Amino acid sequence: MIQLNPDYLIFQTSNGENIPCSAELVTIELIGEAVEFLEPDLVRNASAAVLHYFKNELGKNFVTVAEFSEALEKVLRGFGLTVKSSETEAEPNAKPGSRVCETDLCELAASAGKGFELIFFASLRDHLRQELNSSAEILRFKGLRGCVKQLTGSQRWCGRCQILNDQIVEYLRGCMSAESKKNSCSLVVW
């Protein structure tokens, strides 16, 4: 029997085919376009954590793509991220035909101009209210990482970026709970 590379797992696809592949490559494929907004070290660490879980804790070399995807989502949620895999076209809990409103946080940050964070948070709340009044079922805010770097003026992710990242997510959650008493909708931030 051929020995498997230490950072590889054998993935069973939905059609029953077994394919040996690097956990990191599968992670990048599952994350899809959102990988552009993530630090490479974060992706490597997330895939290493999932690989360690399956190989060392569960003693498995064979996993389904669905099992790997589910474990990866848990790891990324642990990092404070919400990422959907490229295998799902719609939101995971979305009903077919549900109304999804998407907002680019980088555009909101750019429109804040010289007011930076102070004006950004006010315009974010106004925008959230408008979307809630439009009877949306899913509010999706994209570009969080780029928005944070833009507001902090940082080229690389730093401690201040992480603090502002967490503040924006908490602010959106707080606004949702305060504003959406009459409207039940989901919030996705990535």
pLDDT single digits (tens) 23-43: 887 777 777 766 666 777 777
CA 82, 87, 90, 93 dihedral sign is negative
**Burial label, 51 (beta-carbon count in 10 A; 0-12, 13-18, 19+):** buried
pLDDT single digits (tens) 68-124: 888 888 877 776 666 554 444 444 444 444 577 888 999 988 887 765 778 899 889
Please state the domain extents for the chain.
8-78, 100-189
Provide Rg for the chain, Cα atoms.
19
The model's confidence at residue 164, banded by pLDDT at 50, 70 and 90, is: very high
The model's confidence at residue 181, banded by pLDDT at 50, 70 and 90, is: low
Q: pTM of the prediction?
A: 0.51
Mean pLDDT, rounded, of the chain: 78
Residues 6+ apart with CB under 8 A from 4: 10, 20, 61
Q: What is the C-alpha to C-alpha distance for residues 52 and 175, in angstroms, rounded to an integer?
A: 38
What percent helix, strand, coil does the chain show, rounded to 5? Answer: 55, 15, 30
Q: What is the C-alpha to C-alpha distance for residues 158 and 55, in angstroms, rounded to an integer?
A: 32
